[in-house]
A and B are shown apart, each in its own frame.
Chain A
Amino acid sequence: AQSVTQPDIHITVSEGASLELRCNYSYGATPYLFWYVQSPGQGLQLLLKYFSGDTLVQGIKGFEAEFKRSQSSFNLRKPSVHWSDAAEYFCAVGPYAFYNTDKLIFGTGTRLQVFP
C-alpha cells in the first residue's frame, strides 16, 4: 500500500542541538513531498516542499530537507534548534505526478520536545 512513514513518534533535544526528523514514502515514482509543522492548539503551517531539481531544499524558520531517491526518504533537518521549535512535525506526500490524483497523505507525525 502507498504510505508515508515517520518512524520517530517523539524526539527530545536540547536547545542549540542539531535535529533530524525522518520521513519515508512508498510510491512507485517520486511524489510531491512536504513538511508541515503544527504548534500546540494550532493549524498546520508549511515548512518546505520538494517537487524536482535540487535535492536539498530550504524552508522557513531555518529548516531544510534532503530528498534521497535511493532511500525513498525526505528527512527534515535544522542545525540548531530553538525552544520555539517545540511542536509536532508532519511529512506529507502528494502522488499526483504518478497517479494523477490530488490526494495529500500525511504521516503520523513526530512530536519534538526541546529542553533548555
Chain B
Amino acid sequence: NAGVTQTPKFQVLKTGQSMTLQCAQDMNHNSMYWYRQDPGMGLRLIYYSASEGTTDKGEVPNGYNVSRLNKREFSLRLESAAPSQTSVYFCASRDRADTEAFFGQGTRLTVV
C-alpha cells in the first residue's frame, strides 16, 4: 500500500518562483492536512481539508494556497516563494477526528 505520497521529495526554488506540492492518499480518507516542520517549532498546520470541496486555514496559512482536487488529492501552492518558506513540508490524511493520521515522507523545500 502506498499510503500518503508526496511529490517532489526535494526542491530548490529561487525567491519569487512558484510551485505546487502534490499529495495523494489511497486510503479513502476524508481529511487531509498540510504541515511545515522547522527546527524548534514542531509541526505547524498550514491548511486542512475535512472533506472533498472544503478547505480551512490552519496556524500559518499566509503565503500558501491549497486545492482539494478530489478525495484523494490535496495540493499546496506557493505563489511567490520566500526564504522564510524554506522548510520540510508534510502531508497527512485520516478518516475521522478520532482516528490516526498517516503522514507522507515529506518534501524538503529550499528557497534561495
A interface residue numbers (CB < 8 A to B): 6, 9, 32, 34, 42-44, 46, 49, 51, 90, 92, 94, 96-97, 101-109
Contact = CB atoms under 8 A, between A and B. Distances in A.
* Among A42, A102, A103, A106, residue most surrounded by chain B Cβ atoms (within 10 Å): A102
B43 A32 contact: no
A84 to B, nearest CB: 20
Q: What are the 9 closest A-B residue pairs judged by CB atoms, nearest first?
A: A96-B97, A108-B42, A102-B50, A106-B43, A43-B103, A46-B100, A44-B103, A109-B42, A102-B31
B71 interface: no
Interface of B: 31, 33, 35, 40-45, 48, 50, 56, 58-59, 90, 92, 94, 97-98, 100-101, 103-106
A103 B44 CA distance: 11
A97 B97 CA distance: 9
Contacts of A96: 97-98
